[in-house]
């Protein structure tokens, strides 16, 4: 997913313009080009601030404040959306309920609290850490489908952790779980084929998608040197991990 793009300073050229016009901040100066920042959280105030900013009429400090206020304002909405979707997915998504039951059978307990909706700074929509559990990146999740795939992805990691005694420091173990998480979460479902004539069939586009996503996840690990290294580790375990569809066999057979 692309990162949420929040510009942090004014439009191009604004920087210099503001630097040159520090004197004009004086309210008694008839050439004063700056406008005060309206901090009231009304539609009109936000429109006016945005217009003033784009015309270079906000000081650098006010522009920064405006963006901080905007992010804070949207953050509340993002957080609420994440929590609302999380609750509905836990109740109604067949995939999430199935994974929750499978994890439960192995002694794991998945509840709403297992999926904290957090603010994430890096490019990811969710995360799994064997010590701290899973998290959802409320500021990176764009839809209910996206959140469902992300929750399912992290749940595959939880399942693997409980079921296979994964050594997360072993890159081959980690790569295997990333392949399975990408393959089983539905992230690549728009090009995948499930069971056909009693056989598990996958098409080329689906495999490319799973491979690319697993490589991306691996490349973000500190122990992985670069993209080439990530691709190499994924390739080493590819065949056995792509065809290991547990616990999903029974669903799609």
Active site residues: 154
User: With CB under 5 A as the contact rule, which of the stretches 8-16, 44-52, 74-82, 216-224 interacts with Zn ion?
Assistant: 216-224
Closest-CA residue to 162 (of 202, 217, 117, 106): 106
Distance of CA 197 to the CA centre of its chain: 36
Nearer to Zn ion among residue 89 and residue 210 (C-beta): 210
Closest-CA residue to 148 (of 125, 129, 132, 175): 125
Touching Zn ion, residues 67-126 (CB under 5 A): none
Taking residue 102's Cβ as centre, other Cβ atoms within 10 Å add up to 21
User: With CB under 5 A as the contact rule, which of the stretches 29-37, 71-79, 215-223, 236-244 interacts with Zn ion?
Assistant: 215-223
Nearer to Zn ion among residue 58 and residue 141 (C-beta): 141
| Residue 181 contacts Zn ion per CB under 5 A | yes
- CA angle at 15 for the pair 50 and 43, rounded to the nearest 5°: 10
| Residue 217 contacts Zn ion per CB under 5 A | yes
Number of residues that bind Zn ion (CB under 5 A): 3
Nearer to Zn ion among residue 67 and residue 164 (C-beta): 164
CB burial string 142-157: b at 16+ within 10 A, e below: eeeebbbbbbbbbbbb
| Residue 218 contacts Zn ion per CB under 5 A | no
| Residue 150 contacts Zn ion per CB under 5 A | no
Q: How far is the CB of 124 from Zn ion (least distance, A)?
A: 9
* CB distance 72 to 128 below 8 Å: no
Nearer to Zn ion among residue 35 and residue 124 (C-beta): 124
Q: How far is the CB of 178 from Zn ion (least distance, A)?
A: 5
* CB distance 233 to 171 below 8 Å: yes
Task: Name the token pair of 31.
Answer: 């050439």
User: With CB under 5 A as the contact rule, which of the stretches 68-76, 78-86, 111-119, 173-181 interacts with Zn ion?
Assistant: 173-181
Residues in contact with Zn ion by CB under 5 A are: 178, 181, 217
């Amino acid at each position: 997913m692309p990162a949420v793009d929040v510009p942090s300073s004014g439009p191009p050229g604004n920087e210099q313009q503001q630097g040159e016009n520090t004197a004009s901040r004086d309210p008694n100066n008839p050439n004063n080009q700056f406008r005060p920042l309206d901090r009231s959280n009304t539609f009109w105030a936000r429109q006016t601030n945005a217009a003033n900013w784009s015309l270079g009429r906000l000081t650098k400090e006010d522009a920064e404040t405006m963006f901080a206020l905007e992010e804070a304002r949207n953050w509340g909405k993002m957080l609420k959306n994440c929590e609302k979707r999380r609750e509905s997915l836990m109740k109604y998504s067949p995939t999430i309920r199935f994974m929750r039951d499978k994890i439960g059978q192995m002694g794991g307990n998945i509840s709403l609290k297992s999926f904290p909706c957090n603010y994430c700074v890096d490019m990811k929509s969710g995360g799994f850490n064997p010590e701290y559990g899973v998290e959802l990146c409320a500021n990176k999740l764009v839809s209910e489908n996206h959140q469902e795939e992300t929750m399912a992805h992290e749940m595959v990691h939880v399942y693997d952790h409980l079921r296979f005694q994964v050594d997360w420091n072993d890159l081959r173990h980690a790569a295997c779980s990333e392949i399975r998480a990408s393959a089983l979460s539905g992230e690549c479902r728009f090009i995948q084929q499930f069971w056909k004539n009693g056989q598990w069939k996958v098409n080329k586009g689906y495999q490319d998608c799973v491979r690319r996503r697993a490589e991306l996840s691996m490349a973000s690990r500190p122990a992985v040197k670069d993209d080439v290294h990530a691709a190499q580790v994924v390739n080493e375990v590819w065949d056995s991990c792509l065809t290991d569809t547990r616990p999903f066999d029974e669903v799609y057979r």
